[in-house]
Amino acid sequence: MPGRFVFWDFDGTLGYCDGMWSGTLAEIMQDAEPGAGVTRDDFRPLISRIFPWDRPDEPHPEIQDSESWWQLLTPDFIRAFEAQGLSSTRATELAAEFPARYCAPEKWHLFDDTLATLEVLSEEGWKHVIVSNHVPELVSIVDSLGIKHFFEQIHSSAITGYEKPNPEAFNIALRAIPENATIWMVGDNPEADVAGAESVGIPAILVRNSEAAASYQCAALKEVAEMLSGE
């Protein structure tokens, strides 16, 4: 039997990070420079378009390890700290702290409906795959949240080199499962998750978001389980 699979986005769909990127930069600086008075709003415009998923038409399959991937972002983190008045030396020191701080298990949380939804769908025979624009440490983050055992595969764009909605981000996952399987994509981003999946023939459900063009939408993951129960 080909089986039934749900392709899941991770960040914003199954889990979330306290403060996200700009908040983590502010947290690092506040800890290192007490009284600096910076907030995530001070950093947000400085990093608004620095990530590989902001350029999904520029794949990077040659970069498949954590150190090389983070090196892509480090110069932008340094510039963000310098913009807050830090010297180049000090900014470089703080930028080096970012990967460990961002990936720290205590910063990551599941949404309230994530675990129950995975359990219900698993009991009904659905298998799960993560296809996410994320950091190289995604597997470790998922493991720290206690849900790694639900997933047949976990594909992070930092390791595959392809960001959604690039079709290859989905094709990599498709090649790893049986042909003719029933597949649905679930994610919170109308372009990356929904349009990207549909471009390779995968029906997609938009969650925790709204978009008139999305054929399938659910406010909560519980509704996803209800929608797929008849498949």
- Per-residue pLDDT tens over the stretch 175-190: 999 999 999 999 999 9
As a whole number of angstroms, the distance between CA 22 and CA 91 comes to 15
Q: What is the pLDDT of residue 1?
A: 61
Q: pLDDT for 27-73, tens place per residue?
A: 999 999 998 899 999 999 999 999 999 999 999 999 989 999 999 99
Q: What is the pLDDT of residue 30?
A: 96
Q: pLDDT for 114-167, tens place per residue?
A: 999 999 999 999 999 999 999 999 999 999 999 999 999 999 999 999 999 999
Contact (Cβ atoms closer than 8 angstroms) between residue 33 and residue 209:
no
pLDDT grade for 211, boundaries at 50, 70 and 90: confident
Q: What is the pLDDT of residue 229?
A: 81
Local structure of residue 91 (DSSP, 8 states)? H
Residues 6+ apart with CB under 8 A from 49: none
What average pLDDT is seen over the chain? 95
Percent of the chain surpassing pLDDT 70: 99
207 phi, psi to nearest 5 deg: -125, 155
pLDDT grade for 15, boundaries at 50, 70 and 90: very high
Residues 6+ apart with CB under 8 A from 38: 26, 29, 30, 84
Q: pLDDT for 83-125, tens place per residue?
A: 999 999 999 999 999 999 999 999 999 999 999 999 999 999 9
3-state DSSP helix/strand/coil % of the chain, to nearest 5: 45, 15, 35
Is the pTM of the predicted complex or chain greater than 0.85? yes
pLDDT grade for 231, boundaries at 50, 70 and 90: low
What kind of fold does domain 4-16+108-228 have according to CATH?
Answer: Rossmann fold (3.40.50)
Count other C-beta atoms under 10 Å from residue 210's C-beta: 10
Count other C-beta atoms under 10 Å from residue 45's C-beta: 11
Percent of the chain surpassing pLDDT 90: 92
